[in-house]
Amino acid sequence: MVKIRYAAILLLTFLSATVSAEGFKFITMSDSRGPYNGVNDSVLTKIVNHILKTQKGVKFLIFAGDMVNGHENNPELTFNELMHWKEVMKPVYESPDFVWPKIWPVVGNHEIRHRKDEDNFRKAFPDVFANGPDDERGLSYSFDFGNSHFIIVNTDRWYYGDPDDTTDDRRDWHYVKHLDWLEKELSAAKKRGAKHIFVFSHEMAFPTGGHLRDGLPNLTRNLVLPLDSTRIWYLERRNKFWELLKKYNVDAHICGHEHLYARQSVDGVYEIITGSSGAPLYEFNPRYRENPDTVYPGEEMSYGKAVKYYQVLKYNYGPGKNSQASENFFGLKAFNYTVYDVQDDYVLVETYGGFLKEGTHNILGTEIKLIDKFYINKN
Ligand SMILES: [Fe+2]
């Protein structure tokens, strides 16, 4: 009898260890700004309801920035919008299935439009680890969960300049400032034996639609060749960022900023843009067509103008090419959220989304369904 009980305890111990090592799920989404108190309540609520109704076993959600519109001249209003966003997200905050802090926030450019906005963000989202670089506390941070390490890096900050000079004061965005901190994080996670590493920021390294002119390459509105020293600086910084992700075998860089769903593996690291849970949807980078100088509805620029950007970014362009960084690019113009089922040897990535109501740019017109599924294999 004693032997049986002992065996049962052993079995239970084994099972519980196996269960905890079996993996976990998390969700990413981004960009919910809209017309109701800075938020697209309607789409965001439908997505939240879909998550709570259909996704089981999810432990937390990471929101990759641009929750709200924000205001250049009214930081109090921006703070109120963030509070309103939290109200819309209340079902997630109150879900007993999610674990503390339930939603991990990433700062976006729309949250940083005034010198008080970084503090606004910290005040709105106090529940993050204060383990980032000194000047990015609450904006860059990291944590472990299960067999994985999560790193949130800021791409949208404020430059405070000389406190006595009111003109020396501006947005400072489109780059990862603390690459040294990122490398220490990556290296330490590898040494601890993390099976997976996920890196998050608001802005993407490889623009796919709507932001060819900015994002981390930051090529600007009117690109002039040869590149000036400022353009080269941003591009080199973007390249160093991606080199680090490659060096430490990061699973994916997950971001927003572009209001669409896109994923591609660039030199072995996935970039996943999980970019609209309410913000107006974007078109993808213009592809080769018969009339290269025509700007087609919703596109950022004509194909003819985009070619210069593709050349600098080393994208695939021309007849039959996809105008993207990688030939394995897949994207949909859809409102979306993505679920990651993290196991030891692989991550199953499933994206759920819905499409626009005809003739609109920010109204969900279809049911939310599975729209993409792929695996990130670690072996
Ligand atoms: Fe953005």
* CA 25 to centroid of ligand 1, rounded, Å: 26
Mean pLDDT taken over the chain: 93
Residue 167: which residues within 8 A CB-CB, separation 6 or more?
A: none
* pLDDT computed for residue 15 by the predictor: 35
Residue 9 scores a pLDDT above 80:
no
Q: Which of 154, 200, 27, 32 is nearest to 102 (CA)?
A: 27
DSSP string, 277-322: SSSPPPPPSPPP-SSTT---TT-SS-HHHHHHHHHHHT-B-STT--
Asked if residue 312 is part of any domain, the answer here is no
Task: Pick the range with the lowest mean pLDDT from 14-28, 113-127, 223-237.
Answer: 14-28
Confirm if 96 and 58 have CB atoms less than 8 A apart.
Answer: no
Asked if residue 15 is part of any domain, the answer here is no
* CA 265 to centroid of ligand 1, rounded, Å: 22
* CA 218 to centroid of ligand 1, rounded, Å: 13
Confirm if 39 and 85 have CB atoms less than 8 A apart.
Answer: yes
* CA 90 to centroid of ligand 1, rounded, Å: 23
* CA 345 to centroid of ligand 1, rounded, Å: 33
Residue 48 scores a pLDDT above 80:
yes
* CA 52 to centroid of ligand 1, rounded, Å: 26
* CA 257 to centroid of ligand 1, rounded, Å: 4
Residue 366 scores a pLDDT above 60:
yes
* CA 200 to centroid of ligand 1, rounded, Å: 13
* CA 71 to centroid of ligand 1, rounded, Å: 14
Asked if residue 311 is part of any domain, the answer here is no
* pLDDT computed for residue 166 by the predictor: 72
Task: Pick the range with the lowest mean pLDDT from 165-179, 231-245, 256-270.
Answer: 165-179
Q: How many CB atoms lie within 10 A of CB 101?
A: 16
* CA 239 to centroid of ligand 1, rounded, Å: 20
Residue 198: half-sphere exposure toward Cβ, Cα within 13 Å: 24
Confirm if 100 and 127 have CB atoms less than 8 A apart.
Answer: yes
The pLDDT-based confidence of 346 (bands split at 50, 70, 90) is very high
Helix (H) or strand (E) holding 254: strand 252-255
Asked if residue 309 is part of any domain, the answer here is no
Question: Which class for 368: exposed (0-12), middle (13-18), buried (19 or more C-beta within 10 A)?
Answer: buried
* CA 95 to centroid of ligand 1, rounded, Å: 28
* CA 194 to centroid of ligand 1, rounded, Å: 30
Residue 17 scores a pLDDT above 50:
no
* CA 30 to centroid of ligand 1, rounded, Å: 9
* CA 68 to centroid of ligand 1, rounded, Å: 10
State the Cα–Cα distance between residues 275 and 67, nearest whole angstrom: 11
* CA 117 to centroid of ligand 1, rounded, Å: 15
* pLDDT computed for residue 379 by the predictor: 66
Find the domain containing 227 and state its range.
25-284+324-377
* CA 243 to centroid of ligand 1, rounded, Å: 23
* CA 65 to centroid of ligand 1, rounded, Å: 7
Q: How many CB atoms lie within 10 A of CB 277?
A: 31
For residue 284, what are its two tokens?
């993808």
* CA 259 to centroid of ligand 1, rounded, Å: 9
Confirm if 145 and 129 have CB atoms less than 8 A apart.
Answer: no
pLDDT > 70: percent of the chain = 94
For residue 104, what are its two tokens?
């991990």
* CA 360 to centroid of ligand 1, rounded, Å: 20
* CA 64 to centroid of ligand 1, rounded, Å: 9
Measured at the CA of 297, the angle between CA 292 and CA 299, to 5 degrees, comes to 65
How do 103-105 and 196-200 pair as beta strands? unpaired
DSSP string, 102-171: SEEE---GGG-SSTTHHHHHHHH---S-S-S-GGGTTTSEEEEETTEEEEE---EEEE---TT-TTS-EE
* pLDDT computed for residue 43 by the predictor: 98
* CA 258 to centroid of ligand 1, rounded, Å: 7
Asked if residue 307 is part of any domain, the answer here is no
Helix, strand, coil abundance in the chain, percent, nearest 5:
30, 25, 45
* pLDDT computed for residue 173 by the predictor: 96
Instruction: State mean pLDDT over 22-46.
Output: 96
Instruction: Name the domain count of the chain.
Output: 1
How do 58-63 and 369-377 pair as beta strands? unpaired
The pLDDT tens digits of the residues spanning 193-211 come to: 999 999 999 999 999 999 9
We report the CATH number of the domain holding residue 53 as 3.60.21.10
Instruction: State mean pLDDT over 36-59.
Output: 98
pLDDT > 90: percent of the chain = 90
The pLDDT tens digits of the residues spanning 81-93 come to: 999 999 999 999 9
* CA 277 to centroid of ligand 1, rounded, Å: 12
Cα distance between the two ends of the chain:
44
The pLDDT tens digits of the residues spanning 252-310 come to: 999 999 999 999 999 999 999 999 999 999 999 999 998 999 999 999 999 999 999 99
Asked if residue 262 is part of any domain, the answer here is yes
* CA 111 to centroid of ligand 1, rounded, Å: 9
* pLDDT computed for residue 16 by the predictor: 32
* CA 281 to centroid of ligand 1, rounded, Å: 12
Residue 2 scores a pLDDT above 50:
no
Confirm if 38 and 85 have CB atoms less than 8 A apart.
Answer: yes
Q: Which of 73, 52, 84, 58 is nearest to 278 (CA)?
A: 84
* CA 142 to centroid of ligand 1, rounded, Å: 21
Peptide bond before residue 101 is cis, with ω within 30 degrees of 0 = yes
Instruction: State mean pLDDT over 62-67.
Output: 98
Amino acid at 251: D
* CA 350 to centroid of ligand 1, rounded, Å: 23
Asked if residue 127 is part of any domain, the answer here is yes
Residue 19 scores a pLDDT above 80:
no
* pLDDT computed for residue 136 by the predictor: 97
For residue 128, what are its two tokens?
């993050």
* CA 150 to centroid of ligand 1, rounded, Å: 21
How much is the pTM?
0.93
Asked if residue 10 is part of any domain, the answer here is no
The pLDDT tens digits of the residues spanning 121-151 come to: 999 999 999 999 999 999 999 999 999 999 9
